[in-house]
Amino acid sequence: MCHAANLVTVSLFKSQFKFPDKFALYATAGAGVAKVKVGGWQGNDTREFAGNTQTNFTYSVGAGASYEVINDLTLYATYRYVDMGNIESGRNTFVNARALQDENLRGRLVNNEFVFGVRYVL
């Protein structure tokens, strides 16, 4: 299955919990919409499924930690789970064994993001 997604989310929640001076934990949550284009093929590229574009509700949750190495220089690690909903292609463009065009591809589109970085304040 092939897909392309354009994602727009708004962070609804970000909370930071500071521990002794330099260490902090934080949590995030967000919601938005994803415009997803789905298509694909079965077995070989002559057995194609029609494309389908849909707009889905999207949500995300995440957590991370940061450590201030020196003034204005921070290392951070973040995990974020993004759920873009159920996706479905159009019907098969080929005739199947039953001489029908009644198949499509279905799935759920999720993303697990791990981000490691360095933040420097100018």
The model's pLDDT over 45-85, given as tens digits with 9 standing for 90+, comes to 788 878 889 999 999 999 999 999 998 999 999 999 999 99
Record the pTM: 0.76
Where are the domains positioned within the chain? 2-120
**If phi over 0 gives left and psi between -120 and 50 gives alpha, with beta otherwise, what is residue 22?**
alpha
Confidence of residue 89 (pLDDT cuts 50, 70, 90): confident
Beta-carbon contacts of residue 40 (< 8 Å; ≥ 6 apart): 1, 2, 48, 49, 89, 105
Q: Report the C-alpha gap between 32 and 58 in whole angstroms.
A: 5
DSSP state of 92: B
Q: For the chain, how are helix, strand and coil distributed in percent, rounded to 5?
A: 0, 80, 20
